[in-house]
């Protein structure tokens, strides 16, 4: 897993290195371009910022001038408003006094005074007539004539009075109409005429400003819409390019996975080829080592046999018939039993075996003749068969010969020899117990009647062993050749795998290049597309804001256009109302004058008719009474004369008073008429002045509206300038990370002759766009990634080497595990079989491997057959039998791998007395070599112990340990 991970990391690092290398080179070029571009941008931004600030200062000065002019116009407008209001007030005051009423009243009084004068004159004439009347016949005739005349005059007066009734009704109607008109005038014109507010002029000024703003907004909207269309076209091109790059990217990504899988498969195949090569090399080295080992063993065995033959004189006896060779040439010994056989055979190992007694004699003669030391074993010589003692393992059962006649010789030579387990002490004990036998140990110690010898001098060489070694050497040589062929094939496969891996890696690198180029191009296009979309969104937002603003301004214009006619109508209406009020007042005054004249005429005529009727009626009554009382009148004539004199005096006084008051009324009436004339002339002058002031005020309002429009444009330009300054300052701080003062003080970098800074900036920006996105840390990342690549390559090589070494260690450990397990299993299996026979007399138990060919994965099965039972499953055994079987296995392990002490917990709980006795026998056998700690409730087990430990509970609730030493069997 680590190797795969390292390979993935290395491949990923290699994939990242290629674009990083290009990015690092681009970063080197990018640095100089960015430095020059930043310098030019700083210089240009400083100049632009300085220009904008100058423009802002000039705009502030112009705004101050506009403010001064506006204040002057406002002051002038305020003065004009005051003048207009004062003039209107004067005009209203002129038309609102009671001069007309006074004139009408004095006209009425003048007519009444004239009527009274006429009445008094008539009364004076009546007095004169009364004064001249006396009680005589002529007077009577005169009175009768006067009575008739008075009656006729009274009829005339009644006729005249009848003619006055329609005029009186007309006068009443006129007076009622006049009262109604006055009430209507006072009700309608109670508040007078509202002074002009100037709202119409303000609305006209605001409307003109809004028209200009809407026109500029429409121009700006058209410009932004054109720009938005260009950006939309560019976005469409970007979308097409992005789709193409995305198609290439998808194709590269689709091609990448099969290449990666193929590369992984190739790496896996290469790894398998390396593993196969390593395995083949290991097999070859193993075969080589085994070949050399068997060759060395064969040479050693041949040397040993040659030495044995030389000692036995076999070479000198080679020409004698019947010579079969040395004993070592004729026997085959089980592996591991060579020391025991050599110790048991003793000096016979150096003897030459000869078939026949005569050849044997001839051999002896030859040895004597040449004075050569040697030994001869005649096959036909009589030998007493020997039986091995009842101890140990007979040596004869582990040695044999291919010649039947040699078997009897072996019976005589080693038939009485046995091998016992243990060291030389056990051998000495066995030799003392069985002095007639030959006791040998696995180490080659020999104890017999001929002496006790420790160690063996032989090399364990036999002819069979030499043949076996030579055969094994031949087999090893063939295996070595096959291993060499496998190594050659594995190397060829590894070279092929490496070539395939290199080709796939190259294809993957090319695909990675295409993938990186497509990804970079797609990223660049997506970035430009996002920038275009952002700009389009900003422009669309600007268009929406412009449309929204123009909509608001159009709505405001519509609102103002709707309001303006009303305001103008209101203004015209106010002027018309002023004129209407004047005209209505004039008409009312004229009607009041007419009604006054009519009333005066009617009153005068009515008074005259009433007075004449009264006079005539009274005179007629008087005449009638005088005629009736003529006699009485003579008496009363004097009193009448006196009364007439008094009445004449009073009438003269009244006539004089009325004449004086009439003259006074006429004087006042003339004065009122003159005042009325002057008032009309002043009213016309004030109206002309008011019209002039209104025209002047309208001109001032137009100037103020134009000034406000210019101020609004100036404020918009000033806001745009401030926004441009803020944008420039923000761009300086964001893009160039410098303050505005630094940019203003910056100097222009050196440029080629005839090159404009802005043109150079566009050229550098074009270079940057061509470069595409640049990673400023690419160089550092490239160096770090290169170091990581080298490190990963070293790590990968170390991991591969470690893996090969680990495979070797694993194989060695597996071999050691197999050897240790095989040895332990053999010991435990043998001990289990022996202990099971001890615990189950007559029974058979053994251990069996589930997979003998694979000792690393094999399991162990336990076969237990107590005497008299034929069971195949341990679950069919009784509880005691299962416990004894488990104890047999447990003690087999103990015996195979001894320990200083053993701990067991109630292992004999399920045993009956017989089986418990067998268990205690095992305990007694093991207690001599180790310490046993047994937890038990069995009395017999406790009786067999040397020391007992018990735990008891005291009344207080605490436990206490009790110990007691006992002797075994107590």
Res 336 pLDDT > 50: yes
What residue has token string 């068997």?
Answer: 294
For 454-467, give one letter per residue: b (16+ CB within 10 A) or e. eebebbbbbbbbbe
Q: Are strands 393-394 and 417-419 parallel, antiparallel or unpaired?
A: antiparallel
Displacement of CA 138 from its chain's centroid (Å): 144
Reading phi first (left if > 0) and then psi (alpha if -120 to 50, else beta), residue 720 is in alpha
Res 572 pLDDT > 90: no
Res 313 pLDDT > 50: yes
Other Cβ atoms less than 10 A from the Cβ of 687: the count is 19
Calpha distance 363→359 (Å, rounded):
6
Using an 8 Å Cβ cutoff, are 557 and 207 in contact?
yes
Using an 8 Å Cβ cutoff, are 385 and 411 in contact?
yes
Could you tell me the pLDDT band of residue 935, with boundaries at 50, 70 and 90?
A: very high
How high is the pLDDT of residue 137? 47
3-class state of residue 481 by DSSP = helix
- ∠ CA 281-284-288, rounded to 5°: 140
Res 851 pLDDT > 50: yes
Calpha distance 412→351 (Å, rounded):
14
Other Cβ atoms less than 10 A from the Cβ of 533: the count is 16
Extract the tokens encoding 71.
Answer: 């204040």
How high is the pLDDT of residue 968? 46
Quick: pLDDT tens for 359-416.
Answer: 767 767 666 766 666 677 676 665 666 677 777 778 777 788 767 777 777 666 666 7
Partners of 901 in the beta sheet? 931
Quick: pLDDT tens for 495-511.
Answer: 887 788 778 767 766 77
Calpha distance 165→178 (Å, rounded):
19
Quick: pLDDT tens for 877-934.
Answer: 888 888 888 988 898 898 888 889 899 998 888 888 888 888 888 888 888 888 999 9
Could you tell me the pLDDT band of residue 515, with boundaries at 50, 70 and 90?
A: low
Could you tell me the pLDDT band of residue 536, with boundaries at 50, 70 and 90?
A: confident
Displacement of CA 64 from its chain's centroid (Å): 52
Quick: pLDDT tens for 267-310.
Answer: 677 777 777 777 777 787 777 777 776 776 666 666 665 555 55
Calpha distance 238→812 (Å, rounded):
65
Res 156 pLDDT > 80: no
Res 489 pLDDT > 70: yes
Q: Which of 488, 481, 491 is nearest to 288 (CA)?
A: 481
Using an 8 Å Cβ cutoff, are 840 and 884 in contact?
yes
How high is the pLDDT of residue 943? 86
Quick: pLDDT tens for 755-804.
Answer: 788 887 877 777 777 766 677 777 777 788 788 878 878 887 787 778 77
Quick: pLDDT tens for 57-106.
Answer: 888 888 888 788 878 877 887 787 777 777 766 666 665 455 666 666 77
0.75 cut: is pTM over it?
Answer: no
Using an 8 Å Cβ cutoff, are 68 and 656 in contact?
no
Q: Which of 679, 670, 664, 666 is nearest to 589 (CA)?
A: 679
Q: What are phi and psi of 401, to 5 degrees?
A: -140, 155
Taken as a whole, the chain contains a residue count of 970
Q: Please tell me which residue, 751 or 924, carries the higher pLDDT value.
A: 924
Strands, E, within 87-182: which ranges? Answer: none
Calpha distance 683→15 (Å, rounded):
103
The 8-class DSSP code of residue 349 comes to G
How high is the pLDDT of residue 760? 79
Beta-carbon contacts of residue 33 (< 8 Å; ≥ 6 apart): 764, 767, 768, 771
Q: What is the mean pLDDT of residues 691-718?
A: 80
Reading phi first (left if > 0) and then psi (alpha if -120 to 50, else beta), residue 770 is in alpha
Cα-trace Rg, the chain? 78
Calpha distance 155→150 (Å, rounded):
8
Beta-carbon contacts of residue 430 (< 8 Å; ≥ 6 apart): 389, 391, 392, 418, 420, 437, 439, 447
């Amino acid at each position: 897993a680590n190797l795969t991970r390292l390979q993935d990391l290395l491949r990923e690092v290699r994939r990242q290195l290629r674009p990083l290398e290009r990015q690092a080179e681009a970063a080197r070029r990018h640095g100089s371009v960015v430095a020059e571009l930043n310098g030019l941008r700083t210089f240009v931004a400083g100049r632009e910022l300085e220009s904008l600030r100058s423009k802002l200062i000039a705009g502030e000065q112009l705004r101050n001038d506009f403010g001064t002019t506006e204040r002057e116009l406002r002051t002038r407008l305020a003065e004009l408003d005051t003048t207009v209001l004062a003039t209107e007030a004067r005009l209203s005051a002129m038309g609102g006094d009671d001069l007309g009423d006074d004139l009408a009243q004095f006209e009425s009084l003048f007519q009444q005074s004239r009527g009274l004068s006429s009445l008094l004159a008539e009364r004076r004439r009546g007095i004169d007539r009364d004064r001249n009347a006396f009680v005589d016949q002529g007077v009577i005739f005169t009175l009768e004539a006067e009575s008739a005349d008075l009656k006729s005059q009274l009829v005339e007066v009644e006729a005249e009075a009848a003619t006055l009734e329609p005029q009186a009704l007309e006068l009443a109607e006129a007076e009622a109409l006049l009262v109604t008109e006055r009430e209507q005038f006072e009700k309608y014109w109670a508040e007078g005429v509202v002074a002009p507010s100037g709202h119409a002029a303000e609305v006209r000024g605001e409307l003109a400003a809004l028209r200009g703003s809407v026109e500029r907004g429409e121009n700006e909207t058209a410009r932004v819409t054109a720009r938005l269309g260009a950006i939309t076209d560019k976005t469409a091109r970007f979308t097409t390019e992005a789709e193409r790059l995305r198609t290439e990217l998808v194709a590269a990504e689709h091609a990448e996975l099969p290449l990666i899988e193929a590369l992984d498969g190739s790496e896996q195949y290469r790894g398998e080829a390396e593993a196969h090569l390593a395995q083949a090399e290991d097999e070859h080295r193993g075969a080589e080592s085994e070949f050399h080992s068997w060759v060395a063993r064969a040479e050693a065995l041949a040397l040993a046999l040659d030495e044995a033959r030389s000692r036995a004189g076999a070479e000198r006896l080679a020409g004698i018939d019947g010579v079969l060779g040395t004993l070592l040439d004729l026997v085959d010994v089980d592996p591991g039993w060579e020391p025991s056989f050599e110790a048991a055979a003793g000096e016979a190992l150096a003897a030459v075996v000869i078939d026949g007694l005569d050849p044997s004699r001839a051999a002896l003669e030859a040895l004597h003749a040449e004075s050569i030391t040697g030994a001869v074993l005649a096959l036909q010589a009589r030998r007493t068969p020997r039986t091995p003692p009842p101890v140990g393992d007979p040596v004869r059962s582990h040695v044999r010969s291919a010649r039947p006649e040699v078997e009897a010789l072996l019976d005589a030579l080693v038939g009485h020899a046995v091998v016992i387990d243990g060291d030389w002490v056990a051998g000495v004990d066995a030799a003392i117990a069985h002095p007639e036998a030959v006791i040998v140990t696995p180490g080659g110690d020999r104890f017999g009647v001929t002496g006790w010898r420790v160690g063996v001098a032989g090399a364990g060489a036999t002819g069979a062993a030499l043949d076996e070694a030579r055969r094994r050497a031949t087999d090893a040589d063939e295996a070595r050749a096959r291993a060499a062929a496998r190594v050659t094939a594995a190397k060829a496969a590894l070279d092929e795998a490496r070539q395939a891996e290199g080709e796939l890696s190259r294809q993957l690198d090319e695909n990675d290049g295409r993938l990186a180029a497509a990804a970079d191009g797609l990223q660049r296009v997506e970035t430009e597309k996002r920038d275009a979309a952002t700009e389009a969104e900003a422009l669309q937002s600007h268009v929406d804001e412009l449309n929204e603003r123009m909509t608001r301004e159009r709505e405001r214009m519509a609102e103002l256009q709707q309001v303006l006619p009303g305001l103008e109508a209101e203004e015209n209406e106010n002027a018309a109302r002023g004129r209407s009020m004047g005209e209505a007042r004039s008409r009312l005054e004229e009607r009041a004058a007419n009604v006054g004249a009519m009333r005066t005429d009617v009153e005068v005529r009515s008074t005259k008719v009433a007075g004449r009727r009264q006079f005539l009626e009274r005179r007629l009554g008087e005449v009638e009474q005088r005629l009736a009382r003529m006699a009485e009148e003579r008496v009363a004539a004097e009193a009448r004369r006196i009364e007439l004199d008094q009445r004449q005096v009073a009438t003269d006084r009244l006539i004089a008073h009325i004449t004086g008051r009439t003259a006074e009324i006429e004087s006042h009436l003339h004065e009122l008429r003159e005042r009325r004339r002057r008032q009309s002339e002043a009213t016309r002058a004030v109206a002309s002045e008011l019209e002039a002031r209104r025209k002047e005020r309208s001109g001032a309002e137009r100037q103020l509206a134009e000034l406000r429009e210019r101020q609004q444009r100036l404020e918009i330009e000033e806001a745009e300038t401030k926004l441009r300054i803020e944008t420039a300052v923000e761009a300086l701080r964001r893009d160039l990370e410098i303050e505005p003062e630094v940019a203003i003080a910056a100097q222009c970098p050196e440029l080629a002759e005839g090159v404009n800074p802005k043109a150079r900036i566009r050229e550098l920006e074009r270079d940057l766009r061509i470069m595409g996105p640049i990673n400023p840390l690419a160089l550092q990342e490239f160096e770090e990634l290169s170091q990581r690549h080298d490190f990963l390559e070293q790590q990968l090589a170390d991991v591969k080497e470690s893996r090969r070494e680990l495979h070797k260690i694993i194989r060695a450990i597996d071999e050691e595990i197999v050897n240790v397990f095989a040895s332990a299993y053999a010991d435990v299996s043998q001990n289990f079989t022996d202990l099971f026979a001890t615990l189950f007399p007559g029974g058979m138990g053994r251990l069996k491997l589930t997979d003998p060919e694979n000792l690393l994965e094999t399991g162990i099965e336990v076969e237990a057959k107590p005497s008299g039972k034929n069971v195949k499953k341990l679950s069919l055994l009784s509880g005691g039998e299962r416990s004894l079987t488990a104890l047999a296995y447990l003690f087999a392990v103990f015996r195979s791998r001894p320990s200083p002490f053993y701990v067991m917990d109630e292992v004999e709980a399920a045993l009956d007395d017989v089986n418990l006795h067998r268990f205690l026998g095992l305990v007694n056998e093991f207690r001599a070599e180790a310490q046993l700690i047994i937890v038990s409730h069995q009395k017999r087990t406790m009786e067999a112990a040397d020391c007992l430990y018990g735990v008891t509970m005291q009344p207080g609730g605490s436990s206490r340990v009790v110990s007691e030493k006992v002797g075994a069997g107590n």
